[in-house]
Amino acid sequence: MMFSSIALFTSTAALACGAASDCKIDDRTYRIKMPEGHDGSSKVGAIIFNHGYRGTGAGLMRNKRLSKTISDMGLAFIAPKSARADWDIPNAPSDGPRVELAFFDKLKSDVVKNHHVDPAKVVVTGFSAGGMMTWNLACDRGDQYAGFIPMSGTFWAPIPKSCATLPANIIHIHGATDRVVPISGRAIGNTRQGNVEVALKLAVSNGGFGPLKAVGEFDGISCQRSEGKSGKFVEFCLHKGGHTFKSSWLARAWKELERAGAFGS
């Protein structure tokens, strides 16, 4: 009886994490907030939001507007923490041992197993350095997620010439006057940010898509879309601002993914 109680306590303690406390995967962490009113009786879709340089999952959870937007969409809000101050991705200034892909594999498995997340309805997004992490996931894990919404970030140069898991649904959002991560990129020390337009050409050509065509404006962003026979699509959405984003743009992107059948029947 005592053993059963200890086992139950251990199991419960392992899951005692959420928006206010870290969930642990080996030596890594993430935070998760389920949508308001979720009682655990059904699975929900999720947005994995990758933080910017020197950010944290805990810091993202303090963004009340972002948190409310995702909750109002009926989705889980997942905020992982990078291995170090920045994401360990190819050619970055802090280019490390490339541990991120394996971490994201474990992260998705963990949230599906322990937090009532529907594996077919997981979308990855991120801002700035988090957008760079998102592009790398689209390139190397494009078949593992319903879509990708990188914002104000792309690959570090040189941009890869091909990606193993494209085509994938990608909606890239960027500011025309962004000086932190300009569309054409900029040099940082011995490294350089990649050119967003080159990354988009990579996604379009690897996906066998047609040319980008205007699809309209929404809340300050003007979007162009390229579609392919696979049913997937690539969008480039531009706003007139700088290094910033609105949570409402995520809501619009999710609806576009849903309209395109990214989440299945």
pLDDT band at 8 (very low <50, low <70, confident <90, very high): very low
Residue 264 has pLDDT above 90, yes or no: no
Question: 41: pLDDT confidence band, cut at 50, 70 and 90?
Answer: confident
- Whole-model pTM: value is 0.93
Give me the pLDDT at residue 95, please.
66
Instruction: Give per-residue pLDDT as tens, 204-248.
Output: 998 889 999 999 999 999 999 999 888 899 999 999 999 999 999
Q: How many Å apart are CA 84 and CA 90, to the nearest integer? A: 14
Q: Hey, what long-range contacts does 195-200 have (CB within 8 A, 24 or more apart)?
A: 195/154, 195/157, 195/159, 196/154, 196/172, 196/236, 198/159, 199/135, 199/154, 199/155, 199/159, 199/172, 200/172, 200/234, 200/236
Q: What is the pLDDT of residues 141-188, one digit of tens each?
A: 999 999 999 999 999 999 999 999 999 999 999 999 999 999 999 999
At 89, list the tokens: 């991705």
pLDDT tens column, 76-116: 999 999 988 899 999 998 766 678 999 999 999 999 999 99
> Which domains occur in the chain, in start order?
19-259 (3.40.50.1820)
Which pLDDT score, from 0 to 100, does residue 73 have?
Answer: 97
Containing H/E element for 222? strand 221-227
**DSSP per-residue letters across 110-179:** HHHHHS-EEEEEEEEEEETHHHHHHHHHHHHHGGGSSEEEEES--PBSSPPS--TT----EEEEEETT-S
How far apart are the C-alpha atoms of 173 and 238, rounded to whole Å? 6
